[in-house]
Structure 1
Amino acid sequence: MKIYITSVFVDDQEKALCFYTDVLGFRKKHDIPMGEARWLTLVSPDAPDGTELLLEPSGHPAVPPYKTALVQDGIPAASFAVDDVRAEYDRLRELGTEFTQEPLEMGGVTTAVLDDTCGNLIQIVQGA
């Protein structure tokens, strides 16, 4: 068994698409209209046939309180691996990305946490 698709709930799919592609560097894989929403998935440019990230609309009534609780407690909705957290932190800051946690070393792992502008905290991690 392996992970095929994972999702992150977003307040605005178009805004999320721009952030996740233009800023974070993911590539769009599927964009299928489904009424008012879309089946919108992204992949890493390094693994175009790998795990897909679904930018899922936050329309279900349970989602807003869930997302709010995670953000208030500082819990990331997703974690993405990078080769160099410090370099990625600097690159993303240059693009205007806001971080809630600067790079932090914990044993053999370095992490930082950013705001995805769509209602989520996202962790970047090196050395996991």
Structure 2
Amino acid sequence: MNVKKSWTIIFYLILSFGAIGLLSMLISNPVSLVKNLLIIAVVAGVIYFIYRLYLRKSPKDYARYRRAVKQTKKRAKDKERSPSRPAHLQVIQSQSVRKTTPVTKSHKRATNHLTVIDGKKRRRKKLFFLE
């Protein structure tokens, strides 16, 4: 017998026992069934609340994420505005038609806060030479 098939049979067997138990409780004592279901819902709600309270991201991480999303959207918008043409398709204007355009100052880019971590390269080289 296939292992997957045996687990499927066990799953449906447990599911059918649960359904039989719920039906018998509904027939014999419906108030107790409602009480048990409310207790289960309250316990699940408390567990979910504790999970959301302790495992959610800190506001600092969320602010960094929002800033990164904003930068990504801005870059995408800039790419849409100025589609670049390949060099062989660019229009070359004659000297008489060219106009002098005022030189605009380019804005400073924000500094990148990424650092390179070298690790233990030197130590590895020393160990390599000792072998």
Question: What TM-score results when the alignment is normalised by the length of structure 1?
Answer: 0.17
Q: Which has the larger radius of gyration?
A: 2
Bigger fraction of residues in helix: 2
Question: What TM-score results when the alignment is normalised by the length of structure 2?
Answer: 0.17
- Structure with larger RCO (C-alpha < 8 A, sep 6+): 1
